[in-house]
Amino acid sequence: MKEASAGDGILVFGASGHAKVVIDIAERAGVPVLGLYDDDAALHGKQVYGYTVKGGKETLLSSGDRLKAHRTVVAIGSNAARSKIAAWLVANGYTLCEALVHPSAQLARGAIIGKGSVVMAAAVINSDTRVGQNVIVNTGAIIDHDCVIGDGVHVAPGVTLCGGVSVGGHAMIGAGAVIHPNLRIGENAIVGAGATALKDIEDGMTVVGSPARPIDRK
């Protein structure tokens, strides 16, 4: 797995709490942050860790091709919003950066992390696990061997995915959840904080509790 290198630096889209963590990881990995953007006009001109929010998508569009040489990362916690903005960036000629990995994270042999993804402090990704694009592997999460994580997933702090787990695109695995070996978590599924999954979870399903049981989304 190739970690992000300094190169010519990155552009960060997103300027709220998640962006603070992404900026910290980039700096610790030696990757210069060259610009900070967010569509929330209330944030324009404000600073996050010394970086001024320059504008949103319209600002990027008005720059023409000048900024397209720089790689980008979307620093937004919402799976839907993160994936939508990443798709917009790529459609408009921007390139997602190589995965940003906190120096304290542990990546085992054969682990592959997709572009635009962020691996946070003390996370562990074990052998031959494949993580897609625009994924968040949050603080202290453990993803064991031979897991497959789809694009746009958020694995929250303290999650444990046992070996051979498959997680469909844009699923949300809540803080402290435990997924037993060789299970499938469907696309757009939500596993509640602290839940223990003992069987497969269907696409779009929300489960809570230990053992995890489905509930209706409202």
172-173 and 118-119 beta bridge pairing: unpaired
Task: Give the start-end residues of each E strand in 26-183.
Answer: 33-37, 47-48, 51-52, 71-74, 95-96, 100-101, 106-107, 112-113, 118-119, 124-125, 130-131, 136-137, 142-143, 148-149, 154-155, 160-161, 166-167, 172-173, 178-179
**Which residues lie across from 125 on neighbouring strands?**
107, 143
Rg (CA), the chain: 17
Distance CA 103, CA 167 (A): 25
Where do the H-state alpha helices sit in the chain? 17-28, 57-62, 79-91
Catalytic residue among 18, 70, 102, 145: 145
- Give me 210's structure tokens: 């230990």
Distance CA 79, CA 72 (A): 17
One-letter amino acid of 50: G
Q: Verify whether residue 70 is a known catalytic residue.
A: no
One-letter amino acid of 115: K
Catalytic residues: 145
